[in-house]
Chain A
């Protein structure tokens, strides 16, 4: 019964974070700092991201499979590890950015509290990652994977990667996943505003500026790169 109670409590917390973030963090700030639950949310998002990374990595692995034994597996494992660590790094770096920016507004809370509160903001990312994974499972079977037989020619390697990225299904998946990520990032940003407000003890306006400034810049950048194809920024076209 205890586990059921805990589960019910966690679901209530999740709903509260998603629907009533202001009240949730208002209450949360009164309790002891605890990174376990936020880390759990971040880890779940990381695992789902890793699965997505595995799917993409398998695709890349297939591209290099003919070049040598184990290359495909190496690429897939690298993608899984990279995706999981990437989510954790995103949590840490995002929290640090919010913490540093809030200094400008004379924020007073500690970094651990900021980390804890920002971690709760990753709950929408779990849903976002799930939706993205479903989209990947829909699109990836349609991708035509070029085959690279040797790493000796950089031009061929580049062409193969370019060919994969320019595959119509791959392009579609990229666009869809970027839009989904942007939507759920905005949802997370809404939560992070309240999280920063209470964890750094600043006004709602200052918290909004602290959060929305880097988030909006990031979203614009990814959307611009994906759709406008500004190659100097790493775009596909």
Chain B
């Protein structure tokens, strides 16, 4: 096949033309793209830009916003940190950065009046201290970045102010408190806020009770979380125990309190030894006191002992009578020996221990005056013995008479 040289030249020219047209189309598309306005952050203002090519500051965007605390309470101070990033290939000079709002007050002492340049690909944080001395609500303080040459970046920051409480409450406590008896009181701490609180310290405040532990620390309490706080309380006297939970909401210290009234009353289920059937009688040269001790309570009475208290003078063999364990509705007899030198009324003391080893005592007065009465004292009368003597004489005469009569002739 033979090729025509004219046709070959014509084909080459056509190809060059195609390439030229293609290049022109591509170039026009590229320039058109560069001339268009770009908004990558959604809040960047490109005011004053007239160049067909986008200026470098347009590549500066807000990459992160952090609020501490996450949710403010009315009156809380906190920080708002805005991180901007230069996503372009040229450094951008920032003249000033600020945050402003008509409600949320800026209390920062540090200003960003002359920031400087932010290099290509770099990030730069701007932290502002604010005070949310406002009612509950959602506020939008505006972060504003002013560039050196021209242009601004404005970014509204969402800040929520909410006074949802942290609640300290009593979950479990005994029906009654007993002096010296350890009782478990369980508190609960609930975080009803929408942000986590930190460094929570729950501590009781009283000197009239021994409380273990002295305080409970919770590092972090997430929103909606509740923790139980058990305290072992051994009260000495009736008192009001004030529990305080101190926590941090961001940098702000808050506290909630709870008053636990401790009033003494008889434990409805505790052991209740009752002394009854007390009888006193002479026992040789001493006086013996006998009786019964019955546990009319609902709990065991442990290590039960019965003794005659002062001013009685206990003597052997029963200075103290050890009963031991006395179960509910069980009873035991006891006996004590006291000196006749003791007063007419002596206290009979029963002591026992509960499950925790706390010692309790009960006392009842016993009258031993009758037992102290010297033998025959109350009944000393010589009349019966005189009668007996007369009878003896009469009998003697009756017997003697018959023998005397017999001897007579």
Q: Please give the residue numbers on chain A whose beta carbons come within 8 Å of chain B beta carbons, in ascending order.
A: 18-22, 124, 131, 135, 138-139, 142, 144, 146-147, 149-150, 153, 155-156, 159-160, 162-163, 166-169, 171-172, 176, 179-180, 183-184, 186-187, 190, 237
Q: Besides the contacts A156-B333, A156-B335, A166-B282, what 7 more A-B pairs have beta carbons closer than 8 Å?
A: A22-B402, A135-B384, A147-B279, A159-B281, A160-B279, A168-B373, A180-B388
> How long is the Cα–Cα vector from A153 to B292 in the complex, in angstroms?
10
CA distance A176 to B379 in the complex (A): 12
Q: Judge whether A146 and B279 touch: CB under 8 Å.
A: yes
Contact among B384, B392, B401 for A183, CB-based, below 8 A: B392
Contacts of A142 in B (CB 8 A): 378-379
Give the contacting residue for B281; candidates A18, A124, A131, A163; CB below 8 A: A163
Nearest-CB distance from A215 to chain B (Å)? 13
> Closest Cβ of chain B: how far from A79's Cβ, in Å?
21
9 contacts between A and B (CB under 8 A): A131-B391, A135-B384, A138-B384, A147-B279, A159-B281, A159-B335, A160-B290, A166-B283, A168-B373
- The CA of A168 and the CA of B374, in the complex, are separated in Å by 8
Partner-A contacts on B (CB < 8 A): 276-277, 279, 281-284, 288, 290, 292, 332-333, 335, 370, 373-379, 384-385, 387-388, 391-392, 395, 398-399, 401-402, 406
In the assembled complex, the CB of B335 is this many whole angstroms from the nearest CB of chain A, namely 6
**Cross-chain contact A187 with B398 (CB below 8 angstroms):** yes
Task: Report chain A residues within 8 Å CB of B375.
Answer: 168, 171
Partner of B388, one of A124, A146, A147, A176: A176
Q: Is the CB of A166 within 8 A of B281?
A: yes
Chain A: CB-nearest residue to B290: A159
Are B395 and A187 in contact, CB atoms less than 8 angstroms apart?
yes
Are A159 and B395 touching (Cβ within 8 A)? Answer: no
Instruction: Give the distance to chain A from B323, nearest Cβ to Cβ, in Å.
Output: 12
Q: Who on chain B is nearest to A149 by CB?
A: B277
- Closest residue of chain A to B276 (Cβ to Cβ) is A149
Are B395 and A186 in contact, with the CB atoms below 8 A?
A: yes
B379 touches A162 (CB 8 A): no
Instruction: Give the residue among A146, A147, A159, A160 with the most B Cβ atoms within 10 A.
Output: A159
Known A176-B384, A184-B395: A20·B402 in contact at CB below 8 Å: yes
CB of B384 to closest CB in A, whole Å: 5
Q: Of B277, B392, B402, which contacts A19 at CB under 8 A?
A: B402
**Given the complex of chains A and B, what is the CA–CA distance between A210 and B240 in angstroms?**
92
Contact indicator B281/A162 (Cβ below 8 Å): yes
Asked, given contacts A135-B384, A180-B388, whether A168 binds B395 with beta carbons under 8 Å apart, the answer is: no
- Kindly list chain A residues whose C-beta atoms are within 8 Å of the C-beta of B398: 18-19, 187
Contact check, B281 vs A146: say whether CB atoms are below 8 A apart: yes
Decide: B281 and A169 in contact? CB cutoff 8 A: no
How far apart sit A204 and B124, CA to CA, in the bound complex (Å)? 147
What's the least CB distance linking B400 to chain A, in Å? Answer: 10
Pairwise interchain contact A144-B406, C-beta atoms closer than 8 A: no
Contacts of A180 in B (CB 8 A): 388, 391
Task: Please tell me if the beta carbons of B282 and A19 are within 8 angstroms of each other in the complex.
Answer: no
Quick one: closest A residue to B392, CB to CB? Answer: A183
Q: With A20-B402, A21-B402, A22-B402 known to touch, is A183 a contact of B388 (CB < 8 Å)?
A: yes
**CB of A11 to closest CB in B, whole Å:** 16
Contact status of A155 and B333, CB under 8 A, knowing A168-B377, A180-B388, A180-B391: yes
The chain B residue with its CB closest to the CB of A162 is: B281
Q: A21-B402, A179-B388 are contacts. A144–B376 as well, Cβ < 8 Å? A: no
Complex Cα–Cα for A45 and B234 (A): 74
Say which residue of B335, B379, B384, B387 sits within 8 Å of A168 (CB atoms): B379
Complex Cα spacing A23 to B243, Å? 109
Contacts of B279 on A, CB cut-off 8 Å?
A: 146-147, 159-160, 163
Whether A124 lies near B395 (C-beta < 8 A) is: yes
The residue on B at minimum CB distance from A189 is B399
Assembly CA distance A4 to B398 (angstroms): 26
Note all chain B residues with C-beta closer than 8 A to A163.
279, 281-282, 288, 290
Please indicate the chain B residues that have their CB under 8 angstroms from the CB of A149 in the complex. 276-277, 292
Chain B residues near A190 (CB, 8 Å)?
A: 399, 402
**CA A213 – CA B208 in complex, angstroms?**
83
Are A187 and B290 also in contact (CB < 8 A) when A171-B375, A172-B379 are?
A: no
**Contact, CB under 8 Å: A153 / B333:** yes
Closest residue of chain B to A155, judged by CB? Answer: B333
By a CB distance below 8 angstroms, the chain A residues around B290 are 155-156, 159-160, 163
- CB atoms of A169 and B379 under 8 A apart: yes
